[in-house]
Structure 1
Amino acid sequence: MEEIKGLNEEAFDWLGNIDKTQWTLAHDGGWRMGILTTNISEAVNGVLKGARHLPIVPIVEITLNRSAQYFLQRTIRANRMSNANQQWADYTFRLFEARQAEAIQHIVQKFGYNQQSASVITLSTTGQGSSTYVVKLRQQMCSCGKWGTHEIPCSHAIQASRHFVHVVRNGSPSITNFGMNDRQ
């Protein structure tokens, strides 16, 4: 906030009058999982793009036709994902795969078998040292904060899970065997 205040004091005052749960991830209670706008508002905006200047009847017709096409395309995509037994949306799955690849470079030191806790060291590729994170698989928590904010296991959690026989199985979205090599 101090950085915003330094750039624009009027913006700082304006943000100070708005409930922080409405515009920050840090104060949302974990409900948005990294998403600041609702998917439905984005979908409606996409459907109405280019139709706002028209009279009401064509807007309604365009909205109906584009909405039908939108949901038909999404149904086809959802069925494809379901038939392939894919648990996550394409974007989420690509992000997970990227994190799996990144995880290979991490070093894990287990320190709590029952809680499935570990210390994970990430080595810098630029030669600027390393960082250490604490992962608690049973609690689905990593000190980097990515797992809790986005509900997608971070690279530290993925690498830590590879070092435990029992993999975390509860959670939303399902993260069954997320540390294993079961590619979709």
Structure 2
Amino acid sequence: MTHFKNKDLKKLWCEFAHSFGHLRGKNVAITNRLEEMSRSQWVQYADESRRFGHMTTNISECINVVMKGSHNLPVTTLVKSSYFRG
């Protein structure tokens, strides 16, 4: 409170700490995994336009380009098609 001097942020922090503690009580493995992740991944998750450093629309556009013309092929051919594209 003395560092940021913002009551709203303090309230949010307290809610987060309480929720994280509650989650730890339910599933320690999840909270351990979250603690291993970089905080930037937590922040990017909440961002509406980005997912872990990639624009969501760009990812789908890239996949569509790679898979173009392959929609009716068997699964193994699709995997080989996407794997061997450079």
Q: TM-score, normalised by structure 2?
A: 0.39
Which structure features the higher share of helix residues? 2
Which structure features the higher share of strand residues? 1
